[in-house]
Amino acid sequence: MKALLLKYKYVLQFILTFLMVYFVLSFSYKLYLDFSEGSPYYPDYLTYQVAEQIKGLLNGLGYNTVALPHPNEASIQLVINDQYVARIIEGCNSVSVIILFVSFVVAFSGTVKTTITYLFVGALVVYLVNLVRIVILSIGLYRYPEHSDFLHSVVFPALIYGIVFLLWMLWVNRFSNIRKRNKEDYQKTSDEL
């Protein structure tokens, strides 16, 4: 059993670290959402900010856009040229995706400085790509409402998760300590032979 644990030490370490970071960040985010109830920023501050930024970007692109609190649910209605296009819910603020990104990067940690820098830059990239994704999705829903299911369920989730995957691959192949560990393990195995 000990040999098996030693053999898969890094895999177990990755899984445990990933799960621990993911659950701590998810729990913290849940607390944030619980404390956001009754806030002047509806439905919560982060989602409100995303809706305002989307509205600003769409207005900047020439679409007369309004963001209104939804009367029946915790979301913000996005209205383009007097046409209801979409609702921005808590899941649209990219926090859940950033939590997933952060958990993976921490589980495959590199040096402290590199890890913190990559977490900050990567989270910012995910956030900005998410804003662009929602802007393009909103325009797509406005112009091609008949394709709303395909756009919302396939194309745009693939974009955000594709970016996260590319950031993960960049992290693992360029910045994490995994190459160093693999090289050390290879050296150790070579020396034993």
C-alpha 139/C-alpha 158 separation (Å) is 17
The kind and range of the H/E element at 58 are helix 45-60
Does residue 18 lie in a domain region?
Answer: yes
Decide if 21 is inside a domain: yes
The rounded Cα 109 to chain-centroid distance in angstroms is 18
Per-residue pLDDT of the chain (193 residues; tens, 9 = 90+): 777 777 778 888 899 999 999 999 999 999 999 998 877 888 999 999 999 999 999 999 999 999 999 888 889 999 999 999 999 999 899 999 999 999 999 998 888 999 999 999 999 999 999 999 999 999 999 999 898 888 888 888 888 999 999 999 999 988 887 656 555 554 555 555 5
Question: What three-state secondary structure class fits 149?
Answer: helix
Whether the bond between 43 and the residue before it is cis, its omega within 30 degrees of 0, is yes
pLDDT of residue 67: 95
What Å distances lie between residue 143 and 85, 137, 140, 169, 192, CA to CA? 10, 10, 5, 35, 65
What is the count of structural domains for the chain? 1
The two tokens of residue 50 are 């995303």
Residue 87 within any structural domain of the chain? yes
What phi and psi, each to the nearest 5 degrees, are found at residue 84? -65, 120
Distance CA 130, CA 16 (A): 28
Residue with tokens 């040096």: 111
* Residue 191 within a domain: no
pLDDT at residue 39, rounded to an integer: 79
In a domain, 188, yes or no: no
d(CA 66, CA 48): 13
Say if 175 falls within a structural domain.
yes
Q: From its phi and psi, is residue 81 left (phi > 0), alpha (psi between -120 and 50) or beta?
A: left
Whether residue 135 contacts residue 58, with contact meaning beta carbons closer than 8 Å, is answered with yes
Q: What is the DSSP letter of 16?
A: H
What's the rounded Cα separation, in Å, for the pair 177 and 107? 10
Q: Does residue 30 lie in a domain region?
A: yes
Q: Is residue 147 part of a domain?
A: yes
- Measure the CA–CA gap between 11 and 13, rounded to whole angstroms: 5
Q: At which residue do the structure tokens 């994490």 appear?
A: 176
CA distances from 61 to 109, 126, 178 (A): 40, 21, 43
Print the domain residue range for 9: 2-183
